Structure formats: structure tokens, C-alpha cells
Structure 1
Amino acid sequence: MKTLPKPVLLALLTVYLVWGSTYLAIRFALLSFPPFLLMGTRFLVAGTVLYLWLALRGNPAPNLRQWRDGAVVGVLLLGGGMGLTAVAQQYVSSGMTAVFIAAAPLMFALWAGLFGDWPGPREWTGIVIGFGGAALLAGGGEFRAQPAGVLALAGAVTCWTFGSVLSQKKLALAPGAMGFASEMLAGGAFLVVAGWLQGERLGASFDSRALLAWGYLVTAGSLAAFSAYMYLLSKVKPALASSYAYVNPVIAVLLGVGLAGETLGARELLSMAIILGSVILLTTAKATPKNTNASAAASAASSTT
């Protein structure tokens, strides 16, 4: 960990801890919010707040090309990645979902390799070990799936990883946090429209726990963690940026132990040790310089995390 710059370490910890806790927050938010409108409104509100805050501070608005590229990334990550995951969860078990999400770093590596940035041996080792640990952790649950759910999960992981690598390699996003705001606005709007087309509607009354969870998802899950994730994509290799897929289930399990009275068995303890080993490998792998609009991104993103 000592080899990582402090802003990168802070962003990693934000993504690990906050996204790991959103599993529980989403469970409570779904008491009053349908899936697509839950995801769409949280990012639409977060993107609006971030955009207005930056505009008041004098940050220039994205130009037309930057809006277009931000919309491409936002729709792929939020619309495709999160939207298709919401669809898949109607047809597959949580164990199957966890395994597919744990495969994200492998797909990250393949997409990045196609753009000429293959992981090194240490990173490949960390990716494979991390996938094994996450699969072992999920192995205690039930594995069932309908074909539609498997296709939706595969599409979700493909959209999320491809959009993430595109944001690194090809697209001209607005500098810093303004780029993050454009992605959240576009992706959130896409999810809200998709929810309405699916027939989703908000009820007249809301459970207080659901409202608190929704507020947490807006502030911590979207404003802090999503911005931290996009910052990581601008600063580190894909293998390290995607390591959240291994750590988040561990955080979720620990929260379940602490808040819901769940217990840890030998399988869970072993899988956590394996995942910790993979993260150590990934965080200590030799970094390579990244070519992005990074100096503006660094200060803006670190301020949002």
C-alpha cells in the first residue's frame, strides 16, 4: 500500500468501503423504490448536485463532444452495467450475480489488452487469485439462473468494463469532476426513462429507512464512490481500479456480521484471506504512467472523495 499515492489510496478505500456498504443500502431502498427508478434517481440527483456545485465554482460546462462522450460512458456504465444487473436479479440468485461481478476484472484486462495495455504477470496473478477468492465467498450461496438472467448479467459486466476502459483510452471527457457529473446525468436520465418504459412508478408514501438509504446512495454511493472510481480510472491500471469487485462482497459480509447478526465460517474466512492476498498483489504491482487529462482530474476528483 505504501507504493500508492495518498489520493489513489483514498479513492481505493472509498470505493472499497462505500460500494461494499451499498448492498445493504439498496436492500433498504428497494422497500419504497422500484429498481430502475432507484438507480436512475440516485445518479440523476447526484449528477445535478455535482454539476451545479462545479458551475458555481466557475468550472466551464462540457462542450458538445464532451457531453457526447460523457453520455456514452454514462449509458454504458449506469444504464447498461447497473440497469442490466437490476434486470438480471429477477432471474438469477445472488450467488450467481456475485460470481459474474467477480469476473469483471478479467474482462477489464481483456478490454484493456485490446487497447494495448495488457496486465503484467503480477497483475494477472492478483486477478486470478481474486476471482478465486470471490467465487469461494459466493460459493456458500445458492446458484440458480434462467437464461435471460445469465444474458443480462453478461451484458451488464460487458457494458460496465467496456465503458470504463473507453473512458481511459478513447473518449474525450470533460476535465475532472465535470466529466463525472456529465456521466451521472446521462446515465441517470437513461435509467429513469428505462424505468418509466418498464412501468415503474414511485409510490405516494415512502418508508423512512428507504429514504435514508436513498440519501446514502446519492451522497456516498454516487457523489463520493462513483467519482472516486472514475478518478481511479484516470490514474491507475485497470486491474487495480477493478479490484473493488473482490473487496466489496467482503465488506458486505462483514457488515452483515456486524449489523444483521450473520456468522462467519471457515469458507468465508479463507476466501477473505485469498482476496486480501490478491489486493496486496494488485496494489504493489509496478505502476505505469497513464496518459489522460489527469492533472485537472486529480484535484477535482480528490475533492469529491
Structure 2
Amino acid sequence: MQVATSPLTTAPNRVTLWSALTSVYFLWGSTYLFIHFMTERMPPLYMASLRYIIAGTLLYGYARLTGTPRATRTEWKSAGIVGILLLTVANGCLTLALQYIPTGVAALLGGLLPVFLLTLNWASFARKRPTNLALVGLVIGLTGIYFLVKPDKLQGTGGLHANLIGAGLVTFGNFAWAVGTLLAPRVSLPSGTISSGIQMLVGGFVLLAISLCVEPVTPWSILDAPTKAVGSMFYLVVFGSIIGFSSYAWLARNASPQLLSTYAFVNPVVAMLLGVTFAGELFSSQSLLGAVIALVGVILITLGRK
């Protein structure tokens, strides 16, 4: 899948567009559960760094073997900055947050991402006001998120303090992700596959450096990891990073911010269903109502995209 090297000028193929959206909607919705499994008994930043280093090596190697030209120094720098924002900061914050709050709650808090995407795109990047229908969809979607994570339902395993830490980490990660997403079409990036590979390599190695400084690990600690953690990491490498992230990178260059932001409303629904089924998390009738409302917001934002 190729990432354009210039801002969107023509409409993307609809089959490719919706295939990429479906991938981001459902595969990324499952990553919350597998991040939880991956870090149950292993340091979170260390495991996240290995996930991206492995995935980045595979993507970069595939791109070069199939004839993709080498990236220039400028392209390496641009892709590296985007990778640090998306993977080191945003995904690192999410991985840490899952040590404090349940997977479903983390995914639901991720529903705040469209606020940053649409607001930053309006106020700073494109200075383009979203359509009225998209704004209505955003409000409805956030209303659904409110019902999903109503304060009196925000119960983690570590009490109020842990909830605040987890929610703060996810919120800061959302901000970094929105900046990286909106920056991507405005910098010089190489073609899609090699760009994703560079982003993962740079983001992963920066994350590894941080992990080695703050976590009790060595570069070879993976040899002591339990089978469940290793298996979850490879699921995330293939489905979360190689397929899911590459799809997102393509969408960041070929879809409007309104349409791209809709995945943050679908992911929580997928994550909550998986959390209920495999992690024993609660899914109340209020949560079901919130999920339905959030999906209505998705539809309106999609219809309201420019």
C-alpha cells in the first residue's frame, strides 16, 4: 500500500479506501487486548519497542527488496519525527496507560482523538472549518463516548489515582497522535511501505532507549518472556503494525481528517467486546447505548466529510 508524497489532490479508489478503513477499524480495535496480554508479565515500553523494531525491519526490508528507492536524509528525518510522535509518544503512552486502566476504558478514552484532529486541523494546520454535519457527528460521537466512560463507571483496578494517571496518559497520547497525523501530509515522506518502516524503526529504537533507562530490562530480556507475551507481540507486529499501521499511514495521506477520525469511535466498540469476551471486563446496558450513539456519530462524520 503506497503513501502519497504530496497532499491529497485526487479522490482515492473507494475499494482501497474502505479496505484500509476496515483494517484500522477492527484490527486496531483488537490491539488493546493484545497489548494487555503482551505486557501482563513484561515491561510495557520494552515490549512495545520490540514490536515496532521487528515490524519496521520487516517493512523496510520488504520495501528495499521490491525495488523501492532509498529514502533521502530529509525523508528519513521527516518520517522519524512522525514515527516518534505516533509510536514513541502516543503508543508509548497507551501501553503505559494499560497498566492503570482496563483495555475497554483505554479504548474509549481514545475516542477523544477526533477532538484533537478536527480542532488542530481547523485552528492550526489547514485552518479549514469542518462541515456542519461533521461537527454534529463529532458531538454525537463524543456523547456516546461519555455514556461509555461516564465518571461513575470509570473503575480501574488501582482506584481514582490510577484512573487519573491512565486517562492522562491516553489524552496526551491522543494529542501527539493528532499532531503526527496532521503533520504527515505536510512533510517530505518516502513511499508508503518504506515510510512506515522508517517510522517504526525510529519510533521503536527511541522507545527502546527510554525503556533501557527506566525499566529493569536488557536488550535480551525477550528471551525470558512467557509464551503468551511473545505470541501477543507477534500478533501486534503483523496485524497491528504491518497491516493496521500501514493502512492508517495510507489513510493519513489520502482521506480527510473527518473520515480518518471515525476509527476512534469504532475501535472502542471492538475493544470493549473483546475485553468482555477474553478479559472479563464489564459491558453494561449503558455501555451498549453509548456504543450505538458513537456509531451514529461515525455515520454522520463520514457523510459530512468534504
**TM-score, normalised relative to structure 1:** 0.85
Q: Select between 15-24 and 253-262 the one with higher mean Cα deviation.
A: 253-262
Q: 1:205 aligns with which of 221, 224, 228?
A: 224
Q: 1:232 aligns with which of 228, 247, 251?
A: 251
Structure 2 CA distance for aligned equivalents of residues 254 and 112 of structure 1: 31
Deviation per CA, 1:259-282, whole angstroms, max 9, x where unpaired? 456664321221121111111112
Q: 2:59 aligns with which of 29, 50, 53?
A: 50
In the other structure, the counterpart of 2:72 is 63
Deviation of the 1:101 alpha carbon = 2.1
Deviation per CA, 1:209-243, whole angstroms, max 9, x where unpaired? 21111110000000010111111111111122122
In the other structure, the counterpart of 1:190 is 206
SS of residue matched to 1:267: helix
Query: What is the aligned-residue RMSD (CA, Å)?
Result: 2.4
Work out whether 1:180 is the aligned partner of 2:189.
no
Work out whether 1:242 is the aligned partner of 2:261.
yes
In the other structure, the counterpart of 1:141 is 154
In the other structure, the counterpart of 1:277 is 296
Q: 2:132 aligns with which of 118, 121, 124?
A: 121
Cα–Cα, structure 1 residues 138 and 221, in superposed 2: closer, same or farther, change >3 Å? Answer: same
Deviation of the 1:197 alpha carbon = 1.0
Work out whether 1:82 is the aligned partner of 2:95.
no
In the other structure, the counterpart of 2:5 is none
Q: 2:117 aligns with which of 94, 108, 111?
A: 108
Cα–Cα, structure 1 residues 214 and 235, in superposed 2: closer, same or farther, change >3 Å? Answer: same
Amino acid at match of 2:232: A
In the other structure, the counterpart of 1:299 is none
Structure 1 CA distance for aligned equivalents of residues 303 and 28 of structure 2: 22
Amino acid at match of 1:192: L
8 A Cα contact 2:110 2:171, kept in partner: no
Q: Select between 74-83 and 263-272 the one with higher mean Cα deviation.
A: 263-272
Cα–Cα, structure 1 residues 149 and 24, in superposed 2: closer, same or farther, change >3 Å? Answer: closer
Amino acid at match of 1:141: L
Cα–Cα, structure 1 residues 263 and 194, in superposed 2: closer, same or farther, change >3 Å? Answer: closer
| Identity across the alignment (%) | 32
Cα–Cα, structure 1 residues 215 and 55, in superposed 2: closer, same or farther, change >3 Å? Answer: same
Work out whether 1:256 is the aligned partner of 2:272.
no
Deviation of the 1:129 alpha carbon = 1.3
8 A Cα contact 2:112 2:171, kept in partner: no
Structure 2 CA distance for aligned equivalents of residues 30 and 148 of structure 1: 17
SS of residue matched to 2:178: helix
In the other structure, the counterpart of 1:24 is 33
Cα–Cα, structure 1 residues 284 and 83, in superposed 2: closer, same or farther, change >3 Å? Answer: same
Deviation of the 1:174 alpha carbon = 0.7
Cα–Cα, structure 1 residues 125 and 195, in superposed 2: closer, same or farther, change >3 Å? Answer: same
8 A Cα contact 1:69 1:173, kept in partner: yes
Deviation of the 1:255 alpha carbon = 1.9
Cα–Cα, structure 1 residues 67 and 125, in superposed 2: closer, same or farther, change >3 Å? Answer: same
Structure 2 CA distance for aligned equivalents of residues 4 and 261 of structure 1: 40
**TM-score, normalised relative to structure 2:** 0.84
In the other structure, the counterpart of 1:157 is 174
Gaps of 5+ in 1: 288-305
In the other structure, the counterpart of 1:302 is none
8 A Cα contact 1:102 1:135, kept in partner: no
Structure 2 CA distance for aligned equivalents of residues 134 and 280 of structure 1: 15
Gaps of 5+ in 2: 1-11
